Amino acid sequence: MPPPWVYAGSDGALVLYNGVTRATRIAKLAPGTLIRVEVIGKLPRPCAMDPKIGDLLP
């Protein structure tokens, strides 16, 4: 399985770009498990205030 693509915000937070479904499945089935991601760029704004995948799961 290829690693999800993420962008790094100016505050260091990572934003999923490609692979959201895979990350959501991992968060549901194995909470707390770390996954390898590929950082493909930087965003000029902070992203820590955006919702996290774990915040949206029931």
User: One digit per residue, pLDDT tens: the chain, 58 residues?
Assistant: 899 999 999 999 999 999 989 988 988 999 889 999 999 999 999 999 988 877 877 7
| The pLDDT of residue 18 | 93
- Contact call for residues 16 and 4 (beta carbons, < 8 A): yes
| The pLDDT of residue 29 | 92
- Kindly list the strands in the beta sheet with 38-42, ordered across the sheet, starting from the edge strand earlier in the chain: 14-18, 5-8, 38-42
| The pLDDT of residue 57 | 77
For residue 24, the one-letter residue type is T
